[in-house]
């Protein structure tokens, strides 16, 4: 007999543990513990009901066909600009995300889920490294997909200036299969997307003068790419019976709520960073509180382009309420690296926040635009959005207040290549609440309503 087996047989601790027979597992014993039945799959394109609504500030809508369970949805559109041999189309590091103001899921004109641009940035920052990179390529963020712009500098036809853009909708109904939109049973579902009030984020770089000027872009060919799971009729009927056979189904969902932006001014060069204070007005049950600071003004130079419409680094954060301190002047870099905690092996999950992986030393060099600068105060035990791991009820708190101190502006600016022209610029802080809520589906009509947010 093996000496290790003999040694273990003499152990009082192991003998005591073996008495808990209900916890014993034989990893070599074959068993199917969980299996998803084979199903159908279809990915299709949906055309908008008002295809002409592609100008800034308008809202475009898609009515989803009654076909299966929606797994994911992606907005696809093209951007066209006039060919200009001397100038080149330029966007901030957040790319064509700046063309979007808000995404809504609606049922009979009632909004049941929503995300504005600030919330989309928060959800994007939660993605794993590979998913973030795909999101960035689709929206041409951080220079991803920039090769598609090469024709613009000397294009001679409209086809040379057409850029395809893809943006997956990061809504809760696309996060977990049991939250999927069951279009065959629910009343008609509509996806509505409001374009930004202005497309002025896209400019042309005048190479001769090394400056930036207005450059008109046009959004064309918008469509929704929908990924749907199809069940055999008997299995779909069984799901409907299980969910709605006993009456209305109340389900726990999460949504995003954006606070009113707080305006501030960036500090002078080599001075203490600006302190921004925001009293949170939401009364929701918050699973997470996100915040990030940006300069969304116009840009006329490389220095200003480097900090335009991107998350800027923060030095520290505090959260207080009802006379108590919940986060006590915590270094923001700690939150960026370790703030997204996990119950799984590794404790911090597969991607804590990102934004540092491109630096061999892992150091934070103060470069603007990293996803790590979208900070998350995680109030639950796990960073997963597939189940509820805890929340904080803001309704019972007295004056919950977020205090954020921006990073010191060094003489070289917030990027290694940016001078101090960004000093004293106007900035704004976004605060986004990811909140829990109860959603009710009527068992006879499929009518969807939001019942309770707190």
Per-residue pLDDT reduced to its tens digit, 192-216 = 999 999 999 988 877 666 678 888 8
Give the distance from CA 9 to its chain's centroid. 52
**How confident is residue 371, by pLDDT bands cut at 50, 70 and 90?**
confident
CA distance 331 to 337: 10
Across 149-173, average pLDDT = 67
| φ, ψ of residue 255 in degrees (nearest 5) | -145, 175
CA distance 250 to 386: 17
Across 150-157, average pLDDT = 41
User: What tens digit of pLDDT does each residue of 269-315 get?
Assistant: 888 889 999 999 999 999 999 999 998 888 887 778 878 888 888 99
Tell which wins on pLDDT, 126 or 358: 126
**Res 103: pLDDT:** 97
Across 340-350, average pLDDT = 63
CA distance 294 to 311: 5
**Res 413: pLDDT:** 60
**How confident is residue 366, by pLDDT bands cut at 50, 70 and 90?**
low
**Res 281: pLDDT:** 96
Tell which wins on pLDDT, 88 or 266: 266
**Res 319: pLDDT:** 96
**How confident is residue 152, by pLDDT bands cut at 50, 70 and 90?**
very low
**b/e burial code for range 184-201 (CB count within 10 A of at least 16 → b):** bbbeebbbbbbbbeebeb
Tell which wins on pLDDT, 348 or 268: 268
Query: In the Cβ-directed half-sphere of 42, how many Cα atoms lie within 13 Å?
Result: 10
CA distance 103 to 165: 16
User: What tens digit of pLDDT does each residue of 420-451 get?
Assistant: 567 888 999 999 999 998 888 888 888 888 76
Distances (CA, A) of 429 to 32, 239, 317, 426: 50, 44, 13, 11
| φ, ψ of residue 258 in degrees (nearest 5) | -100, 130
Q: Is the pLDDT of residue 350 over 90?
A: no
Mean pLDDT, all residues of the chain: 84
User: What tens digit of pLDDT does each residue of 59-88 get?
Assistant: 999 999 998 999 999 999 999 887 666 667
CA distance 347 to 28: 27
**Res 333: pLDDT:** 83
**Whether the predicted model's global pTM rises above the 0.75 cut:** yes
**Res 367: pLDDT:** 57
**How confident is residue 368, by pLDDT bands cut at 50, 70 and 90?**
low
């Amino acid at each position: 007999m093996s000496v290790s087996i003999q040694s273990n047989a003499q152990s009082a601790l192991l003998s005591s543990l073996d008495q808990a027979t209900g916890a014993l597992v034989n990893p070599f014993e074959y068993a199917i513990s969980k299996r998803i039945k084979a199903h159908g799959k279809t990915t299709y394109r949906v055309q908008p009901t008002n295809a002409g609504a592609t100008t800034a500030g308008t809202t475009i809508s898609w009515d989803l066909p009654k076909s299966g369970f929606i797994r994911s949805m992606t907005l696809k559109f093209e951007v066209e600009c006039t060919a200009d041999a001397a100038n080149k189309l330029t966007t901030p590091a957040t790319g064509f995300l700046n063309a979007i103001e808000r995404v809504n899921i609606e049922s009979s004109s009632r909004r049941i889920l929503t995300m504005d641009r600030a919330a989309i940035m928060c959800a994007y920052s939660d993605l794993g490294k590979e998913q973030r990179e795909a999101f960035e390529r689709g929206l041409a963020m951080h220079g991803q997909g920039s090769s598609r712009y090469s024709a613009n500098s000397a294009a001679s036809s409209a086809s040379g200036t057409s850029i395809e853009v893809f943006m997956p909708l990061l809504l809760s109904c696309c996060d977990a299969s049991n939250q999927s939109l069951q279009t065959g049973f629910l009343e008609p579902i509509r996806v509505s997307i409001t374009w930004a009030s202005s497309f002025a984020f896209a400019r042309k770089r005048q190479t001769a003068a090394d400056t930036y000027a207005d450059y008109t872009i046009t959004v064309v060919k918008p469509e929704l790419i929908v990924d749907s799971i199809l069940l055999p009729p008997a299995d779909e009927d069984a799901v409907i019976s299980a969910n709605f056979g006993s009456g209305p189904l109340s389900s726990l969902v999460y949504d995003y709520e954006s606070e009113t932006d707080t305006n501030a001014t960036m500090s002078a060069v080599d001075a203490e960073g600006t302190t921004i204070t925001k009293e949170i007005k939401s009364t929701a049950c918050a699973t997470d509180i996100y915040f990030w600071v940006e300069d969304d003004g116009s840009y006329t130079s490389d220095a200003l382009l480097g900090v335009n419409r991107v998350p800027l680094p923060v030095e520290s954060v505090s959260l207080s309420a009802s006379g108590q301190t919940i986060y006590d002047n915590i270094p923001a870099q700690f939150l960026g690296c370790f703030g997204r905690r996990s119950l799984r092996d590794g404790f911090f999950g597969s991607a804590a926040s990102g934004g540092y992986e491109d630096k061999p030393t892992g150091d934070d060099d103060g470069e603007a635009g990293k996803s790590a600068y979208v900070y998350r105060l995680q109030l639950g035990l796990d960073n997963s959005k597939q189940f509820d791991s805890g929340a904080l009820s803001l309704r019972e708190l007295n004056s919950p207040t977020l205090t954020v101190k921006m990073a010191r502006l060094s003489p070289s600016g917030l990027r290694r290549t940016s001078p101090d022209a960004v000093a004293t610029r106007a900035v704004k802080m976004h605060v986004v609440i990811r909140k829990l809520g109860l959603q009710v589906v009527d068992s006879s009509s499929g009518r969807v309503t939001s019942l309770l947010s707190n």
